[in-house]
Amino acid sequence: MPTSAPYLPSGGSPSGNRVWLITGASTGLGRALAEEVIAAGDRLIATARDVTAVKDLAESAPDQVQALPLDVTDPAGIRAAVAAATSTFGQIDVLVNNAGFAYRGALEEISDTEVRAQFDTNVFGLLDVTRAVLPGMRARRSGTIVQISSVGGVTATVGGTAYAGTKFALEGLSEGLAAEVAHLGIRVVIAEPGPFRTDFTGRSVRWASQPIDDYRSVLEPARKQFTAMHGNQPGDPHRAARAIIAATRMDSPPLRLPLGANAVDRIRTTLQQRLKDIDDVEPLGRPADYLD
């Protein structure tokens, strides 16, 4: 459990004893966020596919925390978890869609089954959980939905194509959702972490099952760089968690929240390059309209 006081960037406000539901709370950023929510005095529904992995959170603060099993690819299980959470705490104020995983490899190397599994968890699971929680937020005209995206939701990297596809989808869906629910008092925050010191580059990563030799020359350096990061990532999950909490307390939270210097720098570079690319191709693309 964290021992330091929560980090609050300017614009934060005191906690209102809100109720959080976090998917994938057993490890990584989800676990750090769960611990920081407890430390901040809010209430928490901590979920994981294996509920035993989050039971210690409930045992550490039984009046604040409910541990529930939740596989985001199981629609019936999602409905049951949301109903149980609402029965215990009355409402869900903040939903954090954190559950997800990554396949690494060239797109051609990743099987259809693997790609679909990636999208089922990272995209369709997120959609199902969001749709299960939205009716309660709509009825109360309040709530915050935090979508855990990635710097990979803004710029794709070699070997991370399928994962980037899910995060690009998440970004578009979440941006559209934000516009749909703003008038209902519901806010959406898309968190975009860079490399953080979690199991994402270690135990949690999955590798394509059908390697193709033609891709080796570009994938092998990328794989070595990716695995070398494990345990050396610059990002502190607890500081990221505290930044997320602070963002959800703002009167007007940001739609997008890059987390870590790596994410800020890479996203800025990517967007600046996109603007340059638009300028370069404008003479080709602009004349495509009908002529008056």
Catalytic residues: 149, 163, 167
CA dihedral 59, 61, 64, 69 (to 10 degrees): -20
Question: Taking the mean position of all CA atoms in its chain, how far away is CA 238?
Answer: 15
Q: How many Cα neighbours within 13 Å face the side chain of 77?
A: 14
CA distance 21 to 141: 18
Asked whether the CA dihedral 270, 160, 261, 193 is positive or negative, the reply is positive
CA distance 217 to 228: 17
> DSSP label at 237?
H
Which among 167, 168, 159, 155 is positioned nearest to 208, based on CA atoms? 159
